[in-house]
Amino acid sequence: MTILINGKATPFDGATLADALNANGYADTVVATAVNGTFVPADARSDFAIKAGDQIEVLAPMQGG
């Protein structure tokens, strides 16, 4: 299936949000996640099921004013 990670169409054959992060270079990173506009805490990623077309946002610390 195809999902969107930070707006980019991405092939995905896993099951959970944790799978999606691990498969796309986010293992061991300091990030926060949201799926379809809803915050998903880190401790819920392993149980959070991903379906085709889901929009995943992966955010990290960045410069800000």
Partner 1 sequence: MLSVYGTELSSRLMLGTAQYPSPAILADAFAKSNAGIATVSLRRESGQDRAGQDFWSLIQSLGVQILPNTAGCHTVKEAVTTAHMAREVFGTKWIKLEVIGEEDTLQPDVFGLVEAARILSEDGFQVFPYTTEDLVVADRLLNAGCEVLMPWGAPIGSGLGLNNTFGLRAMRAHFPDVPLVIDAGLGLPSQAAQAMEMGFDAVLLNTAVAKAGSPADMAHAFALALEAGRAAYLADPMEPRDMAAPSSPVIGKAFLS
Nearest distance, CB of residue 36 and partner 1, angstroms: 11
Distances (CA, A) of 62 to 28, 38, 43, 53: 17, 20, 22, 27
Nearest distance, CB of residue 45 and partner 1, angstroms: 11
Question: Is residue 40 classed as helix, strand or coil in its secondary structure?
Answer: strand
Contact flags string 1-30 toward partner 1, x per CB under 8 A: ----xxx----------------xxx--xx
Euclidean distance between CA atoms 65 and 33, whole angstroms: 22
59 binds partner 1 (CB under 8 A): yes
Site size toward partner 1, by CB under 8 A: 26
